Amino acid sequence: MRTCEELKQQLIQIRGNNYVVTSEINVDGLIADMLKFIGHTDAELRDELIYSTINTLTENMTFSTAQVKHILTTCLGDEHLFFNIGDKDTDSVFTRAFSSLPISVALWLNQNKTPFLTADELNHIKDTVLRYIKQEKDYRGYVDGKGWAHAIAHIADALGHLAEASKTADGEGEFSLGRDCLLEILDAVKNMICIDYVYTAEEDERLVVPVMDVIYREILANEELIQWIDGFNMADTAWRHSSYPGSYNRHINCKHFMRSLYFKLLSDGDYDVICKHMLEFLVESDD
């Protein structure tokens, strides 16, 4: 087992070699070391080296599907995505936040290159991600001296890949999250927006992505999407009758998110009915 400094130097060498892994490197050992230090407080090691290496070696298929599945299973576990879950303002957030990124790249690989996950496995990932979202309480974006945490933005990426997933390895036809599951994803986004902490690192824009991925599926009717939008109203207007700052912070998050979603819908296609409703929502929120 390498020390973090030894791992860092090896990853720098791999990056300098354009992510070509030479035969003398024990890939399984490399994976074990990267998973061990995935939440290290050294931002260069955590973000620029471990994350970038896992991402690149997964996408270019240097890792076997068995190795990707091992990374995925580990990252979904208690010592990674759920490591000290519920903590606030501690370094454990880096382990959780950076464990969600390999989940996203594994889902991307399954969808875009080689399906290796069964429908049951994809549903398990969905259930685990939604359970994690309910329990994550550290909403920080950038942490001075330690770099990006961004747990909410990272898990939003995983939600988006789940919403668009349509391929499986078990030969039982195309995988598709049904209406109820897509509504679960939308509710998870809403719950991440309607919190007492004001996001400051463009989380609103990252959270728009899984919503758009749900909309692109063309399963939910406009009326269902409008009903979901209306579900923000209670959180958005409660600040007028409640103590500062909790409800007011939720009000700010709702407005920022709705603006981001509105302009994305406006620029992305024929969503006039939804955009009109959202514009009314935004005007009313300022009255």
Quick: pLDDT tens for 73-119.
999 999 999 999 999 999 999 999 999 999 999 999 999 998 999 99
Which position has the token pair 């370094």? 91
Ranges of residues in the chain with a pLDDT under 70 are: 171-174, 234-239, 287
| Contact assessment for residue 12 and residue 117, using Cβ atoms and an 8 Å cutoff | no
Q: What is the pTM of this model?
A: 0.94
Residue 54 confidence (pLDDT): 98
Within 136-245, residue ranges assigned H as helices are 151-164, 179-193, 203-216, 222-230, 233-237
The secondary structure of residue 198, as a DSSP letter, is: P
| Contact assessment for residue 213 and residue 160, using Cβ atoms and an 8 Å cutoff | yes
Q: Diameter of the chain by CA atoms?
A: 66
- Give the CA count within 13 Å in the CB-facing half-sphere of 128: 21
The alpha carbon dihedral of 175, 227, 140, 127 has a sign of negative
Residue 198 confidence (pLDDT): 95
The secondary structure of residue 220, as a DSSP letter, is: S
Q: Please enumerate in sequence order all residues whose Cβ is within 8 A of that of 6, keeping only pairs 6 or more positions apart, or say none.
A: none
- Cα angle vertex 20, ends 107, 167, to 5°? 20
The secondary structure of residue 202, as a DSSP letter, is: S
Domain coordinates in residue numbering, the chain? 1-176, 187-287
Residue 232 confidence (pLDDT): 87
The secondary structure of residue 142, as a DSSP letter, is: E
Q: Name the residue type at position 111.
A: Q
Residue 208 confidence (pLDDT): 98
Q: Name the residue type at position 127.
A: D
Q: Name the residue type at position 33.
A: D
Distance CA 170, CA 168 (A): 6
Residue 156 confidence (pLDDT): 98
Q: Please report, for the chain, how many H helices and E strands are present, in that order.
A: 14, 2
For the CA atoms of the chain, what is the radius of gyration? 20
Residue 234 confidence (pLDDT): 63
Instruction: Tell me the three state secondary structure of residue 6.
Output: helix
Name the helix (H) or strand (E) containing 147.
strand 147-148
